[in-house]
Structure 1
Amino acid sequence: MKPHLIVKRLYQWVKSSHLGVNATDSRYAFVEACLLGLLSGIAALILKEGVGWLGGWRVSLANQLGAIWVLPLGGLFLGSMAGWLIEQTSPTAAGGGITQVKAALARYPVPLSLRVAVVKLIGTILVLGGGLTLGRRAPTVHVGAALAAQLSSWVPTSPEHRRQMIAAGAAAGLAAGFGTPIAGVLFVVEELMRDVSGLTLQTSIIASFTGAVVSLIVEARSLSFAPLLNLPNISFSVDDIPFYLLLGILAGFLGALFKQGLLFSLAIQSRLKLPLPWRIGLVAMISGLIIALLPPFFQDNTRLQTVLVRGELSTEKIFLAFVAHFFLTMLAYSSNAPGGLFAPALVLGSALGYLVGDLEQFIMGSSSQSAFALAGMGGFFSAVVGVPVTAIVIVFELNSNFNIVLPLMVTSSVAYVVADSFSRGSLYERMLKARGIYLDNNPVVQDFLSQLTAADVMQSQVETLPSDLTLDQVIQAMSLSSHRGFPVMEEGKLVGIVTQTDVANAAKLSSQTPVKQFMTPRPISVEADALLSDVLYLLNRYQLSRLPVTEGSKLVGIITRTDIIRVEANQLEGNDSKLNEAIPEPSYIAYQTRAPATGGGRILLPLADPKTATALFQIGAAIARQQNDELECLQVIKVPKHKKPAQTPVKSQHSRHLLHRMERLGRRQKLPVHTQVRVAHDIAQGILDTIRERHINLMVMEWNGETGTPGAIFGHVVDLLIRKAPCELVLVKLGNREPSYPDSLNRDATWLIPIAGGPNAQRALELLPGLTGLYDRPRSPIIWLCKVFPPAGALPDYQVLEQTAQAVKDAVARPVIPLPIRSQSVADAVVHLAAAETCDVVMLGVSREGLLEQVIHGNIPKAIAKQVDSTVILVRGAL
C-alpha cells in the first residue's frame, strides 16, 4: 500500500472515533506528530551515516593518492553532482533550509514536499561528504518540515493545521539532529513561528520528543538521555566572570562579523549568475585545495569538529582551525549548497572559548577550559543565529551539567546584545529580505511568555526571617528549610535578603552577630505586575537566584529560577491545571475603597451575613493588630451564568452600607480597612480572584455549621475555598448560646484548645494572644490546653503538654491549665470537656492533611463544631 493511502486510512480511523470533532483533530495531530518524529529520526540517521561513509571514503582516497589531487577534484565532482540534482529536480532544496521553512510558516508559497526532503538528504550527503565546511542539522530541520508538509497534503486538513505540522516537523528535525528535544521546541517558538497558538506547541513537543527518542534508539540502541557532549572538569567561580564577559563580547563581535560576511558573500555569488552546479562545484574545489594545503587534521571535517569541541588540539592549532573554519564556512555557505550553520557556529564558538580559557589560564594560572568551550558555543550560536534561549538549551542539553548554566547565560546574553549592536536583525530574515520576502514581526498572537507577569509565577507564601535574628538562628532556620535564601523583614517591610552565600561569608563573625550585619540590604525586587521578561532580565543581569515581589513596601511573594522553569515547562507541555478546567468568566469589581497600605500583610474577611459581620470583623481585627496587618472586607454579589459579570447591573446599596460599617469599625480601632464589592458567577470564584489580586495572606471565613449542598462537607463554597485558597485559613463557626454573639465577646470567657502537634496546631497557638484580647473581662479567661491519649498502653509523656502550656501562659499572660485525657475518640473527649467546663471557644489547629481529607477519614472535629454550642475556630496553614 502506498504511503499516502496509509495516512488517509489512519485519518479515516481517527475521524470515525466517538470523541467528537475537536478531539478528532487533536488525536490526528498527535498521531501525525509522532509519525513526523519517527520519520525525522530516521532521516537524521541516514544523513549522519551517509555523510560519515562518503567523507571517510574521501579521506581514505586522499591518503592513498594524495590530498592535493583528491580533495579539490573530489569536491568539484561531488559538489557539481549535488548542484545538478538540486537544480534539475527540486531547487527549493538548495541552501541551509531554515529560510525556506521560515517563509513557509509565514504563509509564503514555498514548495515543501517529499521530493524536497529526498533531494535535500542526497544533496547534503554529497556536499558534506565532499568536504564543504557546513553542518547537517539545518538540513534535518528542512527535511522534517518537508515531510510534515507532505503528510498534511495527503489528508483533507486546513492551512492552519498544515502550518502547525510544518512547525512540528521542523522541531522534530532539530531534535533528531542534535538529540535535544527541548531545544527543538524552543527554536520553533523563538525563531521560526513566534505567533504560537492552538495545538502548535503540543504537536511540536510530541514530534520533537519522538524524533530525539528515535534518534537515540536507532543510533545508540538504548533510550538514554545521557550527556552527548560530556566535557570534563566544568566549574564556575566569581573570578571567571570578567573572562566570560570578554568571551561574550568577542563572540558577539566575531559572530556579527561572521553574519555580515555571510550576507556579503551571498550577495557576491548572486551577482555572478553562475549555474548552481558550477557554483557549488567550484566552491567545493577551492575549499578542497585550501584544506589540502592545511595540516592533515583538517582533511576529515567531522573528526576536526569533534577534536575542536573536545579541545584535543594545541592553542596554535585551535587558533588556526578557528580562522580557517571561519572563512571556509562563509565560502561554502555562499554557494547555496545544502548545508547549515548550526554545527559550524557551535564549533567556532568552542574554539573561541578554548582560546579565552587559555588566556585566563595564562593570566590567573588556572581555568575551566571545558566551561569556556561550552559557553563559547552558546555565545557564538546566539550571535550568528540570533536565538539565545535556543542556544542556551542546546548546549545545556548536550552536556547536562548545571554548572554551565550561569556562564552560558552570561556569555550568550552578552554575545547576543553585542552582535545585535553591530548587525541588527535575524540572519534568516535578512536573507529572506534579499530575496524580496518581508516577514511580519508583529504577529497577532504573542508568545505566551510575553503575557506572564510576576504575580503569575511567584510563590505567594514566603518564608521570611525577622531582622533581629542572630547568625546561629539564621543557620538553624536554613537547616530546617528547603530554601536557600530568605527575605529579611522589619516592622512588616522588606529590608534585606540573606542567602547561603551571605552566611558562608559571615563564617568568621560571632555566632551572635545580627542578620543585619551580613545580609544583602535593599535587595532588588519587582512589582507584582512586572512582566516576566523584566524578571528574567534582572535575574540574568545581576546573576540572582531569587527576586522578592512587592506591592509598595509590602512583600507579596518571591520568584526563583525554579519557578520560571516550572511555568515554562507547564506552558510548553500543556500541563497547567487551569487548562483541564472550564475557565469561568472573571469576576468584576463593582465598588471598592482603599485605605493607606501600612500593614505588613493582608487579611480577607468575606462577609455574607450582616448579623454576624461585626463578630467576624472583631476576630479579623484581633489577628490584624497582633500581626500588624491590613483588613480587606469583601461582599460578593452572585449573578446568573448566562450574564457577564462586567455587563450585569446589580444593586449594591446594602453591600456598601455593610462595608461602610466595617470602615467605621476600622477607624475606631485604628486599623487600615479596604473594601470591595465583586460581581461573579460563583461566590467562591470571586473570593479566589480577590485572594490572587490582593495578595491575601490569611482569610477569616464564617461557617454556620450547616451543609446545604448534598454531598458537600462544609458546603459548596467553603469546600471549594478549603481546597483552592492558597493563603492561611481561619474557619469560624460562631456560637449559638446567646442570641447576640457580639455581646458575648464582652464577658468572661473560657477557651478549650486541643493540641496534637504539627505546624497548624502551633499556628493556632500563635494566633491565641491576639484572639484572647477580644474580651473585656473582670477577670482573666481560663484556657484549657488538652491532649487526648489512647485509653490503653504505657503511661503517656505529659512533658510536652506541660511545656506547651507554660509557653502559652507566658505569651498570653492568662491562666493556662494543661489537661491530659484518655479516650478512644478525640471528638467525643473534646465535646464532653467543652460541655463540662462550659467553654465559650474551642480552637483547633488542623493537622498536616487537608481539612476535607480529615473529614473523610473521620479525623477532623466536624462533629465538635456541630455538637458544641460554643464558638469553634479551625486553623489551616497555607497550601
Structure 2
Amino acid sequence: MESKPNNQNINPLNSILQSRRFKETIGKLNPVLFWAAIAGFLTGVIGGSFRFLISAILNSRVHWIDSLDKILGAIISIALSGIMAYLGFWIMRRFSPDTSGSGIPQIEGMLSRHFPLVWQRVLPVKFTTGILILGSGMVMGREGPTIQMGGSIGKMVATWFRANHEQTRVLVAACGGAGLATAFNAPLAGIMFVFEELKPVFEDEVHAYRAVTLSCISATVGLQLILGTGPVLKLTQFETPPLASLWIFALLGVAFGIIGYYFNFFLVKSLNFFSSLRGIYYHLTGLFVGSFIGLMSWFYTPTTGGGEEMIIWSFNNVEPSHILLLLFAVRFGMTILCYGSGAPGGIFAPMLSIATLFCLGIAKQTHIWFPTILPYPEVLTIAGMGALVAATVRAPLTAILLTLEITANYLLILPILVSCFTASMTAHGMGGRPIYTVLLERKLQK
C-alpha cells in the first residue's frame, strides 16, 4: 500500500512563507541601518576634516620652506619633519600601540573576534598621530587611518545605542568601508572593500550588506559637504583604447604582479628590521625616519608625501622617462621605509603613486613602438594604479572600482579589468600572499 505524501512538506505556500526572501519582505526595519547611516556620516565628516588638515599642513610646510634660504630651509625641513614624526611615534606608543601601521589588520582582527577595539583611545590617537605623521611628509596614505578611525566610530555609535555584539560587528565593518570611501571619495570601492578584503561573516548578511552600503553613502555625503564633489585625481578623461591593445594591458598586469610580489616581500623585511630595534634606536625611530623624510622633501619634494599630489604633478610636468623610473625606485624604497617603521598610515595612496611613475616611465617608449595600437600612452597609468593594488592586497574588484572612482575614467573599465586580474593571478602564481593577511598573522603571533 502506497503511503500518502506529506502535504505540509510539499505545499508551495508553506515553502514560500518559510523562505528567507519572504521573511525579509515582512520583517521590521532593522535599527542597525539607521545607526550605520549616522556612523557613516560621522566617519565622512571626521575623515574629511582629517584630509583637509593634512593637506593644509603639507601645503603650508612646502610654501614656508620654499620661501627660506637654501641652508635654513634644509635645517627647518629636517627639524620639523623629525619633531613631528617623533611626537607621532611617542603618542602612538604611549597611549595606543594598536594604532600603528594602517590599522586594517586590527579591524580585521576585531571582526574575527581576535582583538578588542577600544574606540576611546584609538579614535583620538589615530587622528592626532595621523596628522603628525602624514603632515611630516611621510610616504604613507590617509586611507589606513580613516579605515581604523571609521571602525572606531562604528564601535562608538554601537556603544551609544547599546548594540549587541553582532550589531557592533556590523557597524565596525560598515564604517571601515566608509573610511575607505572617505579617503578616496569612492563609495563603491568602500562597499566592495568590506566584502572582498575584511571578509566578515554575519548572522544576517542581507541587513549587513545594506548597513555597509548606507554607511558608505552617508560617509561620502559628509565628506563632500567639507571638501566638495569630484574625483580625487582630476586627470584627463581618456577614450576606450582599441581591443587590439588589450595584450599590452595584460603584460602590464604581469609586470605589476611581479612588482607587487616584491613590494610585499620587502615590506615584511622592513617590518622585521624595525621590530628588532632596541634601546635608543627604538625610542628615536620616529626622529631618525622623520628627519630623513625632511631631508628628502627639501632635496626633491616629489619623493615624499602620500602620493595624490605627486600623481597630479607627474601628469602636469613633462619629465624624461629615466627621471620618472628613478623616482619610482626612490618612492618604492621610501614607502617600504615609512611603513616598515610602524608609523600610522596606509599604503594604498603610495602604491598608486608608484604605479603612476612606473607606467609614465614606460608609456612613452610603448607609444613609440605601438603608436596606432596605443594612441594615448597615459592610459597605461590608469590601469596600472589598480593593477599594483590588486597584486599586493589581492582584492582585484576593490582595486578596479577604486581606480574608476578616483580618476572618473569609466570608459577604461575593460583595460583595468585585464590589468588587475592579470596582476592578481601573477602575484598568486609567484607564491605571494595578500599583504593584510600577512600583517594580521604577524599581529596574532605577537
Normalising by the residue count of structure 1, what TM-score does the alignment of the two structures yield? 0.45
The answer for the alignment partner of 2:209 in structure 1 is 201
Structure 2 unaligned segments of length 5 or more: list them.
1-25
Aligned with residue 49 of structure 2, among 33, 46, 61: 46
Aligned with residue 352 of structure 2, among 346, 357, 361: 346
Q: How many pairs were matched up?
A: 412
> What aligned pairs does 1:483-502 form with structure 2 within 5 A after superposition?
none
Distance in 2 between residues matched to 1:396 and 1:142, nearest whole Å: 24
Letter in 2 for 1:330: I
Is 1:257 the counterpart of 2:262 in the alignment?
yes
Question: Is the contact between residue 307 and residue 313 of structure 1 (CA under 8 Å) also seen in structure 2?
Answer: no
> What aligned pairs does 1:114-263 form with structure 2 within 5 A after superposition?
114-196=120-202, 197-220=205-228, 229-263=234-268
The answer for the alignment partner of 2:85 in structure 1 is 79
Greater helix fraction, Structure 1 or Structure 2: 2
Distance in 1 between residues matched to 2:256 and 2:41, nearest whole Å: 36
Is 1:281 the counterpart of 2:284 in the alignment?
no
Letter in 1 for 2:43: S
**1:195: Cα distance to partner?**
2.7
Query: Would the alpha carbon gap of residues 230 and 299 (structure 1) be closer, same or farther in structure 2, given more than 3 Å must change?
Result: closer
Distance in 2 between residues matched to 1:328 and 1:305, nearest whole Å: 16
Query: Would the alpha carbon gap of residues 46 and 226 (structure 1) be closer, same or farther in structure 2, given more than 3 Å must change?
Result: closer
**1:381: Cα distance to partner?**
0.8
The answer for the alignment partner of 1:823 in structure 2 is none
> What aligned pairs does 1:368-447 form with structure 2 within 5 A after superposition?
368-436=376-444
**1:411: Cα distance to partner?**
0.5
Letter in 1 for 2:186: T
Query: Would the alpha carbon gap of residues 386 and 276 (structure 1) be closer, same or farther in structure 2, given more than 3 Å must change?
Result: farther
Letter in 2 for 1:52: S
Query: Would the alpha carbon gap of residues 172 and 23 (structure 1) be closer, same or farther in structure 2, given more than 3 Å must change?
Result: same
Question: Is the contact between residue 37 and residue 169 of structure 1 (CA under 8 Å) also seen in structure 2?
Answer: yes
Letter in 1 for 2:416: L
Distance in 2 between residues matched to 1:297 and 1:429, nearest whole Å: 30
Distance in 2 between residues matched to 1:134 and 1:160, nearest whole Å: 32
- SS of 2:133's equivalent in the other structure is helix
Greater strand fraction, Structure 1 or Structure 2: 1
The answer for the alignment partner of 1:316 in structure 2 is 322
Distance in 2 between residues matched to 1:46 and 1:226, nearest whole Å: 17
Question: Is the contact between residue 134 and residue 305 of structure 2 (CA under 8 Å) also seen in structure 1?
Answer: no
- SS of 2:174's equivalent in the other structure is helix
Q: Cα deviation per residue 1:791-828 (whole Å; 9 max; x = unaligned)?
A: xxxxxxxxxxxxxxxxxxxxxxxxxxxxxxxxxxxxxx
Question: Is the contact between residue 58 and residue 70 of structure 1 (CA under 8 Å) also seen in structure 2?
Answer: no
**1:230: Cα distance to partner?**
3.6
The answer for the alignment partner of 1:835 in structure 2 is none
Is 1:108 the counterpart of 2:114 in the alignment?
yes
- SS of 1:435's equivalent in the other structure is helix
Letter in 2 for 1:53: A
**1:225: Cα distance to partner?**
5.8
Query: Would the alpha carbon gap of residues 314 and 210 (structure 1) be closer, same or farther in structure 2, given more than 3 Å must change?
Result: farther
Query: Would the alpha carbon gap of residues 296 and 267 (structure 1) be closer, same or farther in structure 2, given more than 3 Å must change?
Result: closer
Q: Cα deviation per residue 1:168-192 (whole Å; 9 max; x = unaligned)?
A: 1101111111111111010000010
The answer for the alignment partner of 1:692 in structure 2 is none
- SS of 2:289's equivalent in the other structure is helix
Letter in 2 for 1:35: I
Query: Would the alpha carbon gap of residues 349 and 270 (structure 1) be closer, same or farther in structure 2, given more than 3 Å must change?
Result: same
Aligned with residue 34 of structure 2, among 25, 31, 34: 31
**1:65: Cα distance to partner?**
4.4
Question: Is the contact between residue 112 and residue 200 of structure 2 (CA under 8 Å) also seen in structure 1?
Answer: no
**1:437: Cα distance to partner?**
5.1
The answer for the alignment partner of 2:366 in structure 1 is 360
Distance in 2 between residues matched to 1:421 and 1:131, nearest whole Å: 35
Query: Would the alpha carbon gap of residues 139 and 47 (structure 1) be closer, same or farther in structure 2, given more than 3 Å must change?
Result: same
Q: Cα deviation per residue 1:393-436 (whole Å; 9 max; x = unaligned)?
A: 11112233342111101100111111122243221111121233
The answer for the alignment partner of 1:817 in structure 2 is none
Distance in 2 between residues matched to 1:276 and 1:50, nearest whole Å: 28
Query: Would the alpha carbon gap of residues 65 and 106 (structure 1) be closer, same or farther in structure 2, given more than 3 Å must change?
Result: farther
- Taking CA–CA contacts closer than 8 Å with sequence separation of 6 or more, which of the two structures ends up with the larger relative contact order? 2
The answer for the alignment partner of 1:59 in structure 2 is 62
The answer for the alignment partner of 2:7 in structure 1 is none
Distance in 2 between residues matched to 1:205 and 1:342, nearest whole Å: 21
Distance in 2 between residues matched to 1:297 and 1:399, nearest whole Å: 20
Query: Would the alpha carbon gap of residues 198 and 235 (structure 1) be closer, same or farther in structure 2, given more than 3 Å must change?
Result: closer
- SS of 2:253's equivalent in the other structure is helix
Question: Is the contact between residue 188 and residue 401 of structure 2 (CA under 8 Å) also seen in structure 1?
Answer: yes
Query: Would the alpha carbon gap of residues 111 and 411 (structure 1) be closer, same or farther in structure 2, given more than 3 Å must change?
Result: same
- SS of 2:284's equivalent in the other structure is helix
Is 1:89 the counterpart of 2:92 in the alignment?
no
Query: Would the alpha carbon gap of residues 312 and 207 (structure 1) be closer, same or farther in structure 2, given more than 3 Å must change?
Result: farther
> Percent same amino acid at aligned positions?
24
Query: Would the alpha carbon gap of residues 233 and 426 (structure 1) be closer, same or farther in structure 2, given more than 3 Å must change?
Result: closer
Question: Is the contact between residue 138 and residue 338 of structure 2 (CA under 8 Å) also seen in structure 1?
Answer: yes
Query: Would the alpha carbon gap of residues 227 and 177 (structure 1) be closer, same or farther in structure 2, given more than 3 Å must change?
Result: closer
**1:277: Cα distance to partner?**
5.2
Distance in 2 between residues matched to 1:277 and 1:240, nearest whole Å: 52
**1:273: Cα distance to partner?**
3.2
> What aligned pairs does 1:426-825 form with structure 2 within 5 A after superposition?
426-436=434-444
Distance in 2 between residues matched to 1:198 and 1:373, nearest whole Å: 37
CA RMSD of aligned residues (A): 2.3
The answer for the alignment partner of 2:10 in structure 1 is none
Letter in 1 for 2:268: L
**1:280: Cα distance to partner?**
2.2
**1:338: Cα distance to partner?**
0.8
Distance in 2 between residues matched to 1:168 and 1:296, nearest whole Å: 36
Query: Would the alpha carbon gap of residues 225 and 291 (structure 1) be closer, same or farther in structure 2, given more than 3 Å must change?
Result: closer
